[in-house]
Homo-oligomer: A and B are copies of this chain.
Amino acid sequence: MQKKRAKTARRSLCPLNASVEMLGDRWSLLILRDMMLRGSRTYKEFLEASLEGIATNILADRLQRLERNGIISAKPDAHDGRKTIYTLTPKGIDLAPALTEMVLWAAKHERVGNQPLIRQMRNNKEGFIAKVVQRLRAAK
Protein backbone atom coordinates (compact mmCIF):
# COMPACT_ATOMS: atom_id res chain seq x y z
CA MET A 1 0.00 0.00 0.00
CA GLN A 2 2.79 2.35 0.90
CA LYS A 3 4.39 1.63 -2.42
CA LYS A 4 1.26 2.49 -4.31
CA ARG A 5 0.76 5.70 -2.38
CA ALA A 6 4.35 6.75 -3.03
CA LYS A 7 3.88 6.13 -6.73
CA THR A 8 0.71 8.10 -7.18
CA ALA A 9 2.17 11.02 -5.24
CA ARG A 10 5.09 11.50 -7.66
CA ARG A 11 5.53 14.99 -8.95
CA SER A 12 6.07 13.85 -12.53
CA LEU A 13 6.39 10.72 -14.64
CA CYS A 14 10.00 11.51 -15.52
CA PRO A 15 12.22 8.50 -14.76
CA LEU A 16 14.96 10.65 -13.24
CA ASN A 17 12.37 12.18 -10.95
CA ALA A 18 11.35 8.69 -9.84
CA SER A 19 14.98 7.98 -8.97
CA VAL A 20 15.51 11.17 -7.03
CA GLU A 21 12.24 10.79 -5.16
CA MET A 22 13.46 7.40 -3.96
CA LEU A 23 17.16 8.25 -3.55
CA GLY A 24 17.57 12.00 -3.61
CA ASP A 25 18.76 12.28 -0.08
CA ARG A 26 22.37 11.84 0.89
CA TRP A 27 21.81 9.36 3.67
CA SER A 28 19.91 6.80 1.61
CA LEU A 29 22.77 6.59 -0.87
CA LEU A 30 25.36 6.27 1.89
CA ILE A 31 23.40 3.42 3.49
CA LEU A 32 23.31 1.66 0.11
CA ARG A 33 27.07 2.18 -0.24
CA ASP A 34 27.62 0.54 3.16
CA MET A 35 25.49 -2.42 2.11
CA MET A 36 27.19 -2.78 -1.28
CA LEU A 37 30.80 -2.26 -0.39
CA ARG A 38 31.12 -3.10 3.28
CA GLY A 39 28.44 -5.71 3.68
CA SER A 40 26.62 -3.89 6.49
CA ARG A 41 23.44 -5.77 7.34
CA THR A 42 22.20 -4.69 10.77
CA TYR A 43 21.23 -1.41 12.37
CA LYS A 44 24.28 -1.64 14.63
CA GLU A 45 26.61 -2.29 11.69
CA PHE A 46 25.20 0.70 9.81
CA LEU A 47 25.77 2.95 12.81
CA GLU A 48 29.29 1.69 13.36
CA ALA A 49 30.31 1.66 9.68
CA SER A 50 29.01 5.16 9.00
CA LEU A 51 32.05 7.30 8.21
CA GLU A 52 29.77 10.31 8.09
CA GLY A 53 28.19 9.79 11.50
CA ILE A 54 24.55 9.15 10.65
CA ALA A 55 22.12 9.97 13.46
CA THR A 56 20.06 7.08 14.84
CA ASN A 57 16.69 8.61 13.98
CA ILE A 58 17.77 9.36 10.42
CA LEU A 59 19.13 5.84 9.99
CA ALA A 60 15.84 4.32 11.19
CA ASP A 61 13.82 6.59 8.92
CA ARG A 62 15.92 5.93 5.83
CA LEU A 63 15.91 2.16 6.35
CA GLN A 64 12.13 2.28 6.49
CA ARG A 65 11.96 4.43 3.40
CA LEU A 66 14.33 2.18 1.43
CA GLU A 67 12.25 -0.83 2.44
CA ARG A 68 9.00 0.91 1.48
CA ASN A 69 10.48 1.64 -1.94
CA GLY A 70 11.45 -2.01 -2.43
CA ILE A 71 15.18 -1.28 -2.46
CA ILE A 72 16.06 -3.25 0.66
CA SER A 73 14.26 -5.98 2.56
CA ALA A 74 14.15 -6.55 6.29
CA LYS A 75 13.75 -9.86 8.06
CA PRO A 76 14.45 -11.18 11.56
CA ASP A 77 17.86 -12.76 12.10
CA ALA A 78 17.47 -16.56 12.11
CA HIS A 79 19.83 -16.77 15.08
CA ASP A 80 18.49 -13.87 17.10
CA GLY A 81 14.88 -12.90 16.45
CA ARG A 82 15.34 -9.48 18.08
CA LYS A 83 17.78 -8.43 15.38
CA THR A 84 16.72 -7.38 11.89
CA ILE A 85 18.84 -8.28 8.89
CA TYR A 86 18.69 -5.90 5.95
CA THR A 87 19.60 -7.05 2.46
CA LEU A 88 19.43 -5.44 -0.95
CA THR A 89 16.57 -6.57 -3.15
CA PRO A 90 17.22 -7.19 -6.87
CA LYS A 91 16.01 -3.60 -7.40
CA GLY A 92 18.57 -2.38 -4.86
CA ILE A 93 21.37 -4.44 -6.40
CA ASP A 94 20.54 -2.85 -9.75
CA LEU A 95 21.75 0.46 -8.34
CA ALA A 96 25.39 -0.68 -8.56
CA PRO A 97 26.03 1.00 -11.95
CA ALA A 98 24.55 4.36 -10.84
CA LEU A 99 26.59 4.38 -7.63
CA THR A 100 29.73 3.39 -9.52
CA GLU A 101 29.28 6.30 -11.92
CA MET A 102 28.82 8.70 -9.01
CA VAL A 103 32.04 7.47 -7.40
CA LEU A 104 33.96 7.78 -10.67
CA TRP A 105 32.64 11.29 -11.19
CA ALA A 106 33.71 12.47 -7.74
CA ALA A 107 37.07 10.73 -8.11
CA LYS A 108 37.71 12.62 -11.34
CA HIS A 109 36.82 16.05 -10.00
CA GLU A 110 37.40 16.11 -6.25
CA ARG A 111 40.13 15.21 -3.81
CA VAL A 112 38.79 11.98 -2.31
CA GLY A 113 40.08 8.88 -0.55
CA ASN A 114 39.79 5.15 -1.26
CA GLN A 115 42.04 5.18 -4.30
CA PRO A 116 42.33 1.35 -4.49
CA LEU A 117 38.55 1.14 -5.03
CA ILE A 118 38.68 3.85 -7.66
CA ARG A 119 41.51 2.08 -9.49
CA GLN A 120 39.48 -1.11 -9.64
CA MET A 121 36.50 0.76 -11.06
CA ARG A 122 38.60 2.61 -13.61
CA ASN A 123 40.54 -0.40 -14.79
CA ASN A 124 37.45 -2.47 -15.50
CA LYS A 125 34.16 -0.77 -14.74
CA GLU A 126 31.92 -3.50 -16.12
CA GLY A 127 33.92 -6.20 -14.37
CA PHE A 128 33.81 -4.32 -11.08
CA ILE A 129 30.02 -3.93 -11.25
CA ALA A 130 29.54 -7.58 -12.25
CA LYS A 131 31.61 -8.71 -9.26
CA VAL A 132 29.68 -6.54 -6.81
CA VAL A 133 26.34 -7.74 -8.21
CA GLN A 134 27.44 -11.37 -8.01
CA ARG A 135 28.57 -10.99 -4.39
CA LEU A 136 25.34 -9.25 -3.38
CA ARG A 137 23.17 -11.89 -5.06
CA ALA A 138 25.09 -14.65 -3.31
CA ALA A 139 24.66 -12.92 0.07
CA LYS A 140 20.87 -13.13 0.03
CB of A19, distance to nearest CB on chain B (Å): 4
Encode contact with B along A98-110: 1 for CB under 8 Å, 0 otherwise.
1111111111111
Is chain A's binding surface mostly helix, strand, loop or mixed?
helix
CA distance A70 to B30 in the complex (A): 22
Judged by a CB distance under 8 angstroms, whether A80 is at the interface is no
Q: With a CB–CB cut-off of 8 A, which chain B residues contact A33?
A: 14, 16
Known: A24-B26, A114-B14. A98 touches B94 (CB 8 A): no
This chain's copy number in the assembly: 2
Chain A residues within CB distance 8 Å of chain B: 7, 11-26, 29-30, 33, 51-53, 70, 91, 94-95, 97-114, 117-118
8 tightest A-B contacts by CB?
A13-B113, A24-B26, A12-B51, A98-B101, A20-B26, A11-B52, A18-B106, A15-B106
